[in-house]
Amino acid sequence: MAACLAQAFIVMNNFSVVVILPQLQSELGLELADATWAINAYTLMFGGFVLLGGRAADLWDRKWVFVCGVSLFAAASLLCAAAPAPVVLLIARAVQGLGAALATPAGMALLTSEFPAGPARRAALATWIAVGAGAGSVGVLMGGLLAEVWPWQVVFLINAPFGAAVALLAACRLGANPGPARRRVDVRGAVVVTAGLLCLVYAVLEGRQVGWALPGTYVPGCVAVALLVCFPLLERRHPAPLVPLGLFRLKTLAAANAAMLALAGVPVVIIYLVTFYVQAVLRFDSLQTGLAFVPGTLAAALGSLASRRLMAVLGIRTVLLSSLTLVAVAVALLNRTGSGDYLTVILPSVTLMFFGTTCAAVSLQLLSVTEISRAEFGLGSGLIAATQQVGAALSLALLASLVVDAKVTEVGTDPAAELTRLHPAFWGVVVLAIVAFTLVAGILRTRSSDEA
């Protein structure tokens, strides 16, 4: 319960912040580029530190890593609400990302270690993802409502009592969940991979925001490549590596992370493009935009709950490949010509996409921990979370640039024509789903993974 509650308020807060960005921009006197760093600062820290957070959960007591992460997120939320200046808000958002980087993999590791492989673990992870999906819809609605009625500080203030209650519940009700033995921390490896991920996420965010040809983008990008290339060389020589490279010989873990790298961008890109379209072309306000995504997020919650029953009957591999096929078909439907209506075009496509993506995500989360030992559950959770963050950031940066190239910048008189200008990015999302399908089908050639 504690892990699900933490997932709920972390996801709810992040969806709310996306919706209240215009309010942050106007009330704090920020430029648009600076306002988006209210999201980017969080993404940067979460993506950079989540692998280290997952390993910390394995080396120390997962319960207390989880409690520390939740408490840090809640405390940073208070600082966000009380921020006297924009720079303080951005720093507090970065600290929220750090807290989430500790709490998320530790929470997933607690779930996978507490429940045995099979139906019980599937049910636990499906519930965890369903709670996140439901919290997303609540967050979108809450953000839209606050943007219309109440001050933006309330979005952050509600996290403090919620987070304190979850941390107290975990501290009092959860038993100790330590790693099998105290081992020496691979400090050098931790510094290299964390710095590499930070530079990579920063380069992607900057590339999307200011362009790829500027030194502020390609210099950290080159540094990221150098650090991430050096990382496996350092790990091979360390007696207690941060990431045992032998893990990547496990087909289920390799397939899960490779597919997640492609799949992670699908919902992020669609949310970004559809939000842009309904606001700029269909003239939806903040609350209407939030309501527009409710059917999709409810479908995601339904998909996460239905996936465990489907996997019990059909097996993980079959459910995963079927889900990825559904995602590709659903997004391809957005490329229909002749109409740009929300009810007949946007709603059915987005709803099917969310259902399929969530079914696939549950399968990938299970695959990521199928063959690894209990002592490595935190690392497995951190790996899949890091892959998800990097994949989402890369996909959004690359596919959003197709929209910019198409010059979709003005309110159009013909919704169908304006939607057509988004087709290159939509086809890019279809390609992502096909790539994920191909990776899973190529790496997992047997049904042996269905024992997860």
Return the CATH number of 1-183, one of 1.20.1250.20, 3.30.428.10, 3.40.50.620, 3.40.250.10: 1.20.1250.20
Domain 247-452 has CATH 1.10.8.10: no
Phi, psi of 214 (to 5 degrees): -90, 150
- Say which amino acid occupies 139: G
CA 429, CA 427: separation in Å to the nearest integer? 5
Tell me, what DSSP letter sits at residue 421?
Answer: T
User: Averaged in consecutive runs of 10 residues, what is the pLDDT profile of the chain (452 residues)?
Assistant: 76 77 74 69 80 79 87 92 86 91 84 72 72 70 73 82 86 67 67 82 75 82 90 82 78 87 87 80 78 84 82 86 94 81 89 91 81 74 80 79 54 69 88 92 66 52
CA angle 402, 408, 410 (to 5 degrees): 165
Put residue 315 in one of left, alpha, beta given phi > 0 → left and psi -120 to 50 → alpha: left
Greatest Cα-to-Cα distance within the chain, rounded to the nearest angstrom: 65
Q: Return the domain boundaries, the chain.
A: 1-183, 186-241, 247-452
Question: Could you tell me if 376 and 56 are in contact, meaning their C-beta atoms sit under 8 angstroms apart?
Answer: no
The reported pLDDT for the residue numbered 33 is 59
Per-residue pLDDT, 114: 73
C-alpha distances (whole Å) from 316 to each of 124, 320, 329, 368 are 15, 6, 20, 12
For the chain, the first-to-last Cα distance in angstroms comes to 21
Shared fold status for 1-183 and 247-452:
yes
The answer to whether 102 and 46 have CB atoms below 8 angstroms apart is no
Q: Is 237 helix (H, G, I), strand (E, B) or coil?
A: helix
Look-up: residue for tokens 């510094």? 191
Q: What is the pLDDT of residue 408?
A: 46
Residue 448, pLDDT score = 47
What amino acid is encoded at 197 in this protein?
A: L
